[in-house]
Chains A and B, each alone.
Chain A
Amino acid sequence: MLTCENVTFRYEKSGLPVLRGASLTLEQGQIGILLGKNGSGKTTLFKTILGIRRPSGGAIRFDGEDLLKMPRRERARRIAYVPQDIQFGALTVFDSVLMGRVAYFGLKASHEDYLAVEKILRDMGLESYARRNVEALSGGERQKIAIARAMAQEPKLMVFDEPTGNLDIRNEQLIIREAKKLAREKNISILSSLHDLNQALAFGDKFFFLKDGVVKYAGGPEIVNEDVIQDIFDIDVKMVKIDNQKVIIGGNNYEH
């Protein structure tokens, strides 16, 4: 279980506050979606959870343990990151996934690490990619490799920063389906930011709406409604039901 309590973050030089006391709780196995305008503090909140940035105040715990005091390698065995702009370097897919094991092996991979990577590649249907250069793959394929790499960390929580940001509609669906499948099968929690509200509804169990550096609304799909979206994004939307599924349409009416 991930808990953030009153997390604050301000830039040292300018003193500009980005997070003003953000709190959230994510149960084990849940898929949480972080929603909010650009600049609302989503990325910063991720960075504090991932240990890339140190919060100015507040507490972040994972299963009761203080994440802020945890050594980097220990944290990496619990929380894995799938960034938006994925870089790998010119390595094979196998070696790129093996990187996820560095939190375990440190300096030199062992037999167990190789086996773990082989298993992940087989489970995800990536065997045929194993010896290819990861830099020569397409955006969707690279995203999948990044998920495989995160899986190699054997995490309890995976953090996705805009996982579908650079993908076409088909790959968007593939990635979300893959992530959801992994979360359900292995009881891994996911915390993800997403721009597309309909995707968010299809993907998530729990929703956190961030505004001005605090989590203003949190809850299940039932809290995603026209008023909340109006308040957070400052746009008018319509919510309809198609095949018993909530669908959000519109935005402001454009003048023709």
Chain B
Amino acid sequence: METTYLLRRKHKIYTLAILGLTLAVAALAFVCVLVGSSDMTFAQSLAALGKTGSAAQIRIIWNIRVPRVLAAVIAGAGLGVSGLIMQTTLNNPMASPSTLGVSNAAVFGANLSIIAFAGGFLSTGNNLNNYTVGANPYATSVMAFLFAGASILMILGLCTLRAFSPNVVVLAGMALSSVWTAATTILQYYATDVGLSAAVVWSFGDLGRATYRTDAIMAAVVLAGFAYFMVMSWQYNVLLTGEATARTMGVRVDLLRFTSMLLASLITAVCVSFLGVIGFVGIICPHVTKKLLGQDHWITIPVSALTGMLLLLLADTLSRSLGGGSALPVGAITSLLGAPFFLTVIFSGKENRRC
């Protein structure tokens, strides 16, 4: 069988890239679990991971660090892959998981919940105990998700009325984003200072809000999206040849666009609703992947997921070590960390992209 596909045999670099990244993610995740702001030693952490040691230590590892690391892995994968799919389906390198205004809508929903209804009950998430007693910790996430979902449906609805032109989608997304931002600004103008600070802090992405339950919900959505994207990988490849040509090759372009954008936006909506805004992962990871490995979606989808995980894990580790006890917003770190690397790759004069 090997000889028959001689003309197709792929560079070993794909296997190496996927293997290497998987190992890196696993290693980094392991380190993340063992390192944190509590004064546990490495050995104590390791012991607690094996469920031996003091109850407090086991609690720190299993109730705080593990769900947090899982969140980084799940959201990183989700945001990386959604970005890639958005860029392909909209034929726009600037498209990101937030293109349809999802993040801004989620921020508005959360602000509404915090400022108008709960009066700033939300903590930054590092301390699991200071939600106001009786307030539902999910209320803000649910509200954020409802608005994000509404935003997605609004744009996709508008776009099905008219032909699904990618540029129209991007522009409509921008317009709607600015509406949500404006509404958020007005809301914040009338907020109490406690409410305002809680609302602003919410919008900083923070993996510390994750619990096993939120991780499970995110994982379900991300896995469903990932599976769909992988199954459709050849259809995305054909889409790279342009909308008209793809149609003549038998691809149902409008349907593919609709389902892909819906899933990619849903992934983003769920992640943002639980964790706050984590920007730039969806832009950096797919672009670096494409630049280095070409555009075959069978490869770029898993690699974008892996690089997303890696970036978020790295950012989280840094945010926890730089914050001196309380973690810095991970969303800021992803951009700080990713942007220089991104620029290096974009401006590097490597002409012959592998593929």
The finding on whether chains A and B are genuine partners in a shared complex, rather than unrelated, reads yes
* Partner among B242, B247, B248 whose Cβ is within 8 Å of the Cβ of A87: B242
Nearest chain B CB to A92 CB, angstrom units: 5
Contact check, A131 vs B351: say whether CB atoms are below 8 A apart.
Answer: no
Let me know if B12 is at the binding interface, CB within 8 A: no
**Contact code string B1-41 (vs A, CB < 8 Å = 1, else 0):** 10011111111000000000000000000000000000000
- Among A121-174, those with CB < 8 Å from B are 121, 127, 130-131, 133-136, 153
Nearest chain A CB to B179 CB, angstrom units: 26
- Among A87-117, those with CB < 8 Å from B are 87-92, 94-95, 98-100, 102-103, 105-109, 111, 114-115, 117
Contact check, B352 vs A102: say whether CB atoms are below 8 A apart.
Answer: no
Contacts of B8 in A (CB 8 A): 92, 94-95, 98, 114, 117-118, 130-131
Contact A133/B234 with A47-B244, A72-B252, A87-B242 known, Cβ cut-off 8 Å: no
Let me know if A207 is at the binding interface, CB within 8 A: no
Contact check, A99 vs B294: say whether CB atoms are below 8 A apart.
Answer: no
Contact check, A75 vs B294: say whether CB atoms are below 8 A apart.
Answer: no
Contacts of A109 in B (CB 8 A): 234
Contacts of A90 in B (CB 8 A): 290, 294-295, 353, 355
Contact check, A131 vs B250: say whether CB atoms are below 8 A apart.
Answer: no
Contact check, B231 vs A107: say whether CB atoms are below 8 A apart.
Answer: yes
Interface residues of B (CB under 8 A from A): 1, 4-11, 231-232, 234-235, 237-238, 240-242, 244-245, 247-252, 290, 294-296, 351-355
Contacts of A72 in B (CB 8 A): 247, 250-252
Interface residues of A (CB under 8 A from B): 47, 50-52, 72-73, 75-77, 79-81, 83, 85-92, 94-95, 98-100, 102-103, 105-109, 111, 114-115, 117-118, 121, 127, 130-131, 133-136, 153
Nearest chain B CB to A152 CB, angstrom units: 9
For A122, the closest partner residue in chain B by CB is B7
For A50, the closest partner residue in chain B by CB is B248
* Partner among A81, A89, A94, A127 whose Cβ is within 8 Å of the Cβ of B295: A89
Query: How distant is the Cα of A193 from the Cα of B165 in the complex, in angstroms?
Result: 27
Nearest chain A CB to B74 CB, angstrom units: 25
Known: A76-B248, A114-B5. 8 other contacts (CB 8 A): A47-B244, A73-B250, A79-B248, A80-B248, A90-B294, A107-B231, A111-B4, A118-B8
Can you list 11 A-B pairs, Cβ within 8 angstroms, ordered by A?
A52-B248, A81-B245, A83-B245, A89-B241, A95-B8, A95-B237, A95-B296, A103-B250, A127-B7, A133-B353, A136-B353
Query: How distant is the Cα of A136 from the Cα of B252 in the complex, in angstroms?
Result: 28
Contacts of B247 in A (CB 8 A): 50-52, 72
Contact check, A75 vs B250: say whether CB atoms are below 8 A apart.
Answer: yes
Nearest chain A CB to B271 CB, angstrom units: 27
Nearest chain A CB to B227 CB, angstrom units: 12
Contacts of B249 in A (CB 8 A): 76, 80-81, 99-100, 102-103, 153
* Partner among A75, A80, A118, A133 whose Cβ is within 8 Å of the Cβ of B355: A133
For A135, the closest partner residue in chain B by CB is B353
Contacts of B296 in A (CB 8 A): 91-92, 95
Nearest chain A CB to B317 CB, angstrom units: 32
Contact check, A102 vs B295: say whether CB atoms are below 8 A apart.
Answer: no
Contacts of B355 in A (CB 8 A): 90-92, 95, 133-135
For A105, the closest partner residue in chain B by CB is B234
Contacts of B238 in A (CB 8 A): 99, 102
Query: How distant is the Cα of A127 from the Cα of B8 in the complex, in angstroms?
Result: 10
- Choose among B241, B353, B355 the residue with the greatest number of A CB atoms under 10 Å from its CB: B355
For A129, the closest partner residue in chain B by CB is B7
For A12, the closest partner residue in chain B by CB is B163
Contacts of A81 in B (CB 8 A): 244-245, 248-249
Query: How distant is the Cα of A77 from the Cα of B4 in the complex, in angstroms?
Result: 24
Nearest chain A CB to B60 CB, angstrom units: 45
Contact A102/B351 with A50-B248, A87-B241, A118-B4 known, Cβ cut-off 8 Å: no
For A155, the closest partner residue in chain B by CB is B248
* Partner among B9, B10, B241 whose Cβ is within 8 Å of the Cβ of A99: B241
Nearest chain A CB to B157 CB, angstrom units: 20
Contacts of A105 in B (CB 8 A): 234
Nearest chain B CB to A116 CB, angstrom units: 11
Query: How distant is the Cα of A92 from the Cα of B7 in the complex, in angstroms?
Result: 10
Contact A83/B4 with A91-B295, A102-B250 known, Cβ cut-off 8 Å: no
Query: How distant is the Cα of A102 from the Cα of B251 in the complex, in angstroms?
Result: 8
Contacts of B242 in A (CB 8 A): 83, 85, 87
